[in-house]
Structure 1
Amino acid sequence: MAWNCSWEIHAQNRNKVCPGASEAPELYNRGFLTMMQIAPHPPPAIMSYIFLFICLCGLLGNSVVLWFFGFSIKRNPFSIYFLHLAVADVGYLFCKAVLSILQAGAFPGAFATYIRFVSRILGLAAFLTSVSLLPAVSTERCLSVLFPTWYCYRRPKHLSALVCALLWALAFLITTIHTYFCVYVTPRPPWGDCTYMDVFLGLLLFLVLAPLMVLACLVFLVKVECRAGRRHQPSKLNSVILALVSVFLVSSIYLGIDWFLFWIFDIPAPFPEYVTDTFICVNCSAKPVVYFLVGKDEKQRFWEPLRVVFQRALRDGAELKESRDTPNTVTMEMQPTGTAS
C-alpha cells in the first residue's frame, strides 16, 4: 500500500522508496522540510540521548508552566496564549522524546513503525501551532499598546481563546494535507506533491510568521520608546514576548539557512538534521526559563514561589501605574491575595 512507502532524497532526483517489512518508514527525510544534505550521514548514537535529555527537561519545565498558568494563576488574554504555547511545546517535545527512544533502542516491528508515523504527524502539528502562537501574542500586544482604549473596553472577551483554537485547527489542517501529499499520493518527479508542500511550509514559517512576529515587536517597541519621557514602570510582559521571539529566531536560523540555500540557490542543506532538531528542541524547552528569568525579582534575597514569579512575568508596569491613577480601569495586573509585589 502507498502508506508503507517513505521519502528518500538523492543527489539527482527525489523519488519514493518502499522499504521492506522490517524497515521503518519515515514521513520526511529532514524533519518537515524535504531537503537533501551535503553529507547525509546518520546522526551519532549519542544524539538520541541528548535529544531525550533536552526533551525531558523541557517537558518538566513546560508542565510546571501548564500547572501555574492553567490552574494557579488567574488568566488574562496573554496568559491564555502562553498556556497554549506550553501545550504545543509539550506535544512537540513528547513526540521528539518518543522518536529518540525508538531511535536509541532500534525497536523493530510494525508497532514501532506506526508510533514513528504518528509521532512525526503530531510533532509537526504541535510545532506549527507553537510557531504561529508567537506572532499572535506579539500582534495582540501591539494592539494593546497602539489602541489601549479599544483593548480595555471593546476587545472581544474570548478573542485569545478563539485565536488559539483557530491556530490549532489550521495547524492540524496543514499537517493533514502535508501528510496526505507526502505519504498517500505518488509524487511526480522532479517536483512532486510533497515538494510543493515543503515549499509552502518554508514560505509560511520564514516569510510569513517570522516577519510578522518581528514587525509586531518592532511596532510596540517603538511605541514604548516614544513614551519613554513619561514616568512608567518597565513592562515584564514586553520583555517576555521579546525574549520568546528572540529565542525562536536564534534557534531557527540554521533551519532557515538550510531552506533558503536549498530552494533559492539549489544548494544541499549544509547543516545535519540533528543540528536543526537540537535547536528546535532547545527553543521549545527554553520558554519556562524565560518566564522565570523575566519574572524573578532581583531584590529578593530568598527563593520566591514560582507562582509569584510567573505572575510577575505577565505584569505590565505602565498599565499598573495608570490603574492606580485612574479608578475602574481594566488592567492586566493580577496580584495574589496577601502577596507583596
Structure 2
Amino acid sequence: MVHCPVGPRANISIYHPSNQTDKMSPLSVFTIFLHGSFSSIGILENLFILGVVGFHVRRSVISIWILNLAASDLLATASLPFFTLYMARGNTWNMGTTFCRIHSSIFFLNMFVSGFLLAAISMDRCLVVLRPVWAQNHRNVQLAGRICGVIWALAVVFTIPFYVFRDTIVQPNGKIQCYYNYAQFLPTEPFDLGSLCKQRKEAFAFMKLFLSFLIPLLIIILSYVAVNIGVARRGYRRPFRFVRLVVAVVVSFVLCWAPYHFFIIMEVIAPTGHPAQRLAGQALPISATVGFLNSVLNPILYVFSCPDLCKKIRHSLGAVMESVLAEDLAELARRRSTTHSSISTTEIVLKERSSLTAFCLKGEAREKNESDANPAEN
C-alpha cells in the first residue's frame, strides 16, 4: 500500500500523540485520566438530559435544539472510552480499520454538529429578539426539526472525506496507528506524492478550521451583538443571566476548540522537523481532549441556565425519589402487614387449642365426678 512520505518525527494517530515509546509520559497519563473523566461525566450528563428533556418536557424549539445537541455530545463522549483504551495500550490501534474510520468520524461529526447547532441556536435567539412577529408566526417545532435534519446531513457530508481517508498504518516499531492516508485515490496523471499529501493535509485542516470553528463562531458573535444592539435601542434592560449566558457560550466554545485548531494549523504549516511541529505534536492530544470538554459544558450552558427546564429536572428527580420511596414504604407496609397477620393467626390457633384443651379437661373432670357418684355402675 502506498503511503505519504513522513519525516522522522512525524506523529501519526487520531490526535497525533507524540509518545512512541512503551513508557507513558506524565502528560499521556494525565490525558488518559482526562479522557476517562470527560467520558464518564459526559455520558451520564447527556443521558440524563435526553431522558428528562425527551420524556418530561413539552416539545418546543428550545427543547429540539437541546435534544440534538445532547445527542451529538452523547455520541462523542461515548466514543471516548475506545480512544482511552487506545492510549492506554501505548498508542496502538487493535480494533480494525473499519472501526478506526467510524471512531475517528464520530469525533469530526460532533465537531461539525456542535458548531452548526450553536450557530443555529444563536440565530434563533437573535430572530426572537429582533423579529418577534416573524418568530411568532413561523418559528415552530417542525421548522426546528427540519433545520436540525439539515445540520446533521451537512455534518455527515463534511465528515465523509475524513472517513474515506482514514486508515490503519503499521509503523516500523510494530505499532498500528489510526490516522489519515492521503495517498489514496491518486490521480492518473503524473504527480508528486509529497506535494499531493501536503495539499490534502492542509485542505483538511483548513476545512475543519473554517467550517466547524471560525464560521460558527462568527455567527455566534454577530448574533449576540445584534441582540445586544436591538435590546439597547428599545431601551430594555438586559438581564444579568442573559449576559452571563452569552459570555459563557462564546468563551467555552473558543476555549474548548481554539487550541485544537491552532495546533492543527501549526502542525500543518510548520516545516518537517521544525520545533513548532514537534510542539504541536505534543500539545494536540491534550488540546483534543479539551475539545471534548465542550460536550460536557453544553448541557450546563443550554439546559441548566433555563429556569423552566431546571424546574422540570427538579420535578423529575423529585418524582423518581417519591416513586422509589413509595415503593420502599409499600414494601415495608406489606411486610409489616404479613408479619402482623402471621402473629394474629398464631394467636388465634393458640387460643383455639387452649380452649379445646380446657373443654377436654372439663369433660374429663365431669365424667370422673359422675363415676364417683354412681359406683354401682362401675
- Paired residue type of 2:194: P
Aligned equivalents of 1:84, 1:241: Cα separation in 2: 20
In structure 1, the residue matched to 2:24 is none
Aligned equivalents of 2:62, 2:256: Cα separation in 1: 23
In structure 2, the residue matched to 1:273 is 284
Q: Does 1:129 align with 2:140?
A: no
In structure 2, the residue matched to 1:200 is 207
Aligned equivalents of 1:101, 1:200: Cα separation in 2: 29
Aligned equivalents of 1:242, 1:67: Cα separation in 2: 28
In structure 1, the residue matched to 2:161 is 177
In structure 1, the residue matched to 2:353 is none
> Residue 44 of structure 1 aligns to a residue in which SS?
helix
Q: Specify which of 288, 294, 298 is matched with residue 283 of structure 1.
A: 294
Aligned equivalents of 2:59, 2:48: Cα separation in 1: 16
Superposed CA deviations along residues 25-49 of structure 1, whole A, max 9, x for unmatched, are 84x4549xxxxxxxx4455234223
Aligned equivalents of 1:90, 1:9: Cα separation in 2: 35
| Residues 15 and 288 in structure 2, CA contact (< 8 A), matched pair in contact too | no
In structure 1, the residue matched to 2:194 is 189
Change in CA separation of 1:156 and 1:292 when aligned onto 2, cut-off 3 Å: closer
Alpha-carbon shift at residue 57 of structure 1 (Å): 0.6
- Paired residue type of 2:231: V
**TM-score, normalized by length of structure 2?**
0.63
In structure 2, the residue matched to 1:253 is 258
- Paired residue type of 1:193: R
Superposed CA deviations along residues 144-163 of structure 1, whole A, max 9, x for unmatched, are 11110010013465221111
Structure 2 regions of 5+ residues with no counterpart?
Answer: 21-26, 166-179, 187-191, 318-378
In structure 2, the residue matched to 1:323 is none
Superposed CA deviations along residues 201-226 of structure 1, whole A, max 9, x for unmatched, are 22223431211111112111222233
Change in CA separation of 1:109 and 1:170 when aligned onto 2, cut-off 3 Å: closer
Q: Does 1:68 align with 2:52?
A: yes
Q: Does 1:222 align with 2:229?
A: yes
In structure 1, the residue matched to 2:7 is 10
In structure 2, the residue matched to 1:332 is none
Alpha-carbon shift at residue 63 of structure 1 (Å): 1.0
Aligned equivalents of 2:53, 2:263: Cα separation in 1: 35
Alpha-carbon shift at residue 177 of structure 1 (Å): 2.1
Bigger shift: residues 51-60 or 262-271? 262-271
Alpha-carbon shift at residue 294 of structure 1 (Å): 2.5
Change in CA separation of 1:69 and 1:241 when aligned onto 2, cut-off 3 Å: farther
Q: Does 1:165 align with 2:149?
A: yes
| Residues 72 and 114 in structure 2, CA contact (< 8 A), matched pair in contact too | yes
In structure 2, the residue matched to 1:101 is 85
- Paired residue type of 1:120: S
Query: Stretches of 4+ moved more than 4 A in 1?
Result: 105-110, 235-242, 259-267, 307-310
Structure 1 regions of 5+ residues with no counterpart?
Answer: 18-24, 32-39, 298-302, 311-341
| Residues 51 and 100 in structure 1, CA contact (< 8 A), matched pair in contact too | yes
> Residue 150 of structure 1 aligns to a residue in which SS?
helix
Aligned equivalents of 1:243, 1:69: Cα separation in 2: 22
Higher CA-based Rg: 2
- Paired residue type of 2:62: F
Q: Report the number of matched residues.
A: 281
Superposed CA deviations along residues 108-159 of structure 1, whole A, max 9, x for unmatched, are 7853554333211122112211121100110111111111001001346522
**TM-score, normalized by length of structure 1?**
0.69
Aligned equivalents of 1:69, 1:185: Cα separation in 2: 44
Change in CA separation of 1:108 and 1:89 when aligned onto 2, cut-off 3 Å: same
Q: Specify which of 90, 94, 104 is matched with residue 120 of structure 1.
A: 104
- Paired residue type of 2:72: A
Superposed CA deviations along residues 49-106 of structure 1, whole A, max 9, x for unmatched, are 3211121111111111111121111121122111101111111111122211232245
- Paired residue type of 1:164: C
User: Percent identity among equivalent residues?
Assistant: 20
| Residues 60 and 140 in structure 2, CA contact (< 8 A), matched pair in contact too | no
Higher helix residue share? 2
CA RMSD, 1 decimal: 3.6
